Amino acid sequence: MTEFIPGPSAEHATPDAAAGAPEHPEQRTPTLLEQMGGVGGLVSSAVPSMAFVAVNPLAGLQAAIWASLGVAVAVGVWRLIRREPLQPAVSGILGVAVCAFIAYRTGEARGFFLYGIWYSLVAGLMLMLSVVVRRPLVGVLWSALNGSGFGWRTDRRARSGFDVATVVWAVFLLARFGVQHYLYDVQQTDWLGVARLAMGLPLTAVAALVTIWAIRRAARVAAAPS
């Protein structure tokens, strides 16, 4: 139980206190999404990979590796200058470094895509499994990122919206794995880069719209009188 501490009397109160304004307004804890830099931060973490895909067909593997690493560092410097969270930039640098290392070790540009290919498979299967166990990951992650709680899990209608959104993400990721794994096997590196771009932002945009629908559906269900 919170202890009640009486404030100053009216005759000694400051103008703000007398008007009812709190002397020490409560500081809101930033959500995890805000700590990660918001939507802009998430987008900037993907830019270095796009640089690799663009440069490799034009200048080769070495130039593409250096271009992607250079863009990743540039994003970090830009966010530092703007005093924005560096976590997205750090994630981008680490992700590009892992992909570049794989490409360097294999000696093939297509090695740059291996991590993303197998990530798509693992993530897609995890998403499907989360629906089976009635904990759709889209809802779980959204609640964790925004601190909105997990009350939607007890309502079938709200949970079904997150089920749909989770399945959509899973289908897109598994389709991405199937297409890109085939192109990797047949050594179509240029088409592999095209597929990564074509199945990246467009499919993500569609899945994001479905996610927004699921979130709004859950909010309406939560606000509806019981």
Q: Record the tokens describing residue 76, joined without a space.
A: 């970090």
For residue 38, what pLDDT is reported?
Answer: 54
Lowest mean pLDDT across 27-41, 84-98, 117-131, 204-218: 27-41
Q: How confident is the model at residue 23 (pLDDT cuts 50, 70, 90)?
A: very low
Q: How confident is the model at residue 142 (pLDDT cuts 50, 70, 90)?
A: confident
The pTM assigned to this predicted structure is 0.70
pLDDT tens per residue across span 93-140: 787 888 888 988 888 888 888 988 999 999 999 999 999 998 999 889
Contacts of 104 (CB under 8 A, 6+ apart): 65, 111
Q: How confident is the model at residue 88 (pLDDT cuts 50, 70, 90)?
A: low
